[in-house]
Amino acid sequence: MTGAQRAEDPAKGRSRGSVVVVGTPIGNLGDLSPRSAAALRDADVIACEDTRRTRGLLSHAGITGKPLVALHRHNEASVSLRLAKQAEEGETVAVVSDAGMPIVSDPGARLVREAIALSVPVTVVPGPSAVTSALALSGLDSTRFCFEGFLPARGKERSIRVEQLAACRRTTVFFEAPHRLARTLVDLVSACGPTRKVALARELTKLHEEVWRGTLAEAAQLAQQGNPLGEHTIVLEGAEEPTAPDERAISETIGALVEAGDSSRDAADKAALILGVSRRVAYEAALKVKQQGNFSHKGHPDSP
């Protein structure tokens, strides 16, 4: 919906505006789509992170004289409500970030929520994405992936997040600032091991686009040599599926638990939890161990 296409609000007898989330180029201005340019041209006001950056984009598209409102993390709460009310009163409010899709690790989410709360229509004009671009170039599995945004800069929250990344079995994509890249890679080596695969992407769609692929240990060593300019998009290989314990391992675990004083049933229950196998598999193993005479007390696995 553009400024020339306003929906009527029967309850209030006047036209109703909208909020349009507009994806913008992540580096190469030639990636601005005709539809994105039209949405910006038709908007009554454009909310943006940096008015200077957005004014340059508008100039590239031949758009002049458009009102711009700064929308960033320091003023997002107050400005979002005001812009949503402008849309409720009939204006078309476009929201952009400095690069890529607003809201995805960028301002805009509060504005969308405020608009929805006021029953203002919200639409989107898709655009380039560093997340999917880096994933496509990484050479890693893209069947299932998750996006983590930026990692916490320090403290316990950061440690917890790194451990979660290490355990995640899906390919993970996240952003990192150049001055924190080396430290982040060292932390990942410690949590994931040195051989986990990783891809580092920077300057995507620009003249000096660079995608590096290798192991975490190699990446950490490379990062120690200096901090390349530009925000990095990191694509991390998922953790391997755990190897299922074989029958011998299950039997030995049950035998050790019984020798320590557990009943067959309790030993089977504990073994199922310890080894991550089903209770049925553990009970069957306990029964076989009992039948083979590997332990002689505490009874049938199905008995108390």
Question: Is the per-residue pLDDT at 300 higher than 60?
Answer: no
Q: Are residues 61 and 100 in the same domain?
A: yes
pLDDT digits (tens, 9 = 90+) for 37-58: 999 999 999 999 999 999 999 9
In the predicted model, is pLDDT for residue 290 greater than 60?
A: yes
pLDDT of residue 11: 47
Host domain of residue 92:
7-125
223/143 same-domain check? yes
CATH number at residue 96: 3.40.1010.10
**pTM of the complete model beyond 0.85:** no
Specify if 182 maps to a domain: yes
Which carries the bigger pLDDT value, residue 273 or residue 1?
Answer: 273
Predicted confidence at residue 303, as pLDDT, reads: 44
Is the pLDDT reported for residue 264 higher than 50?
A: yes
- Same domain flag for 173 and 282: no
Residue pLDDT, tens place only, 47-86: 999 999 999 999 999 999 999 999 998 899 889 999 999 9
Residue at a domain's end among 93, 108, 125: 125
Judge whether 228 lies within some domain. yes
Q: Is residue 100 part of a domain?
A: yes
CA distance 170 to 220: 21
**Which of 39-53, 122-136, 137-151, 249-263 is predicted with the least confidence, judged by mean pLDDT?**
249-263
Distance CA 17, CA 9 (A): 10
* Beta bridge partners of residue 14, listed in sequence order: 9
Does the structure show a pLDDT above 90 at 161? yes
The answer on pLDDT for 224 being more than 70 is: yes
Residue 1 lies in a domain: no
Q: Which of 125, 148, 171 is at the close of a domain?
A: 125
**Average pLDDT of span 204-221:** 95
Number of domains within the chain: 3
Question: Is the same domain home to 107 and 61?
Answer: yes
- Shared domain for 135 and 179, answered yes or no, is yes
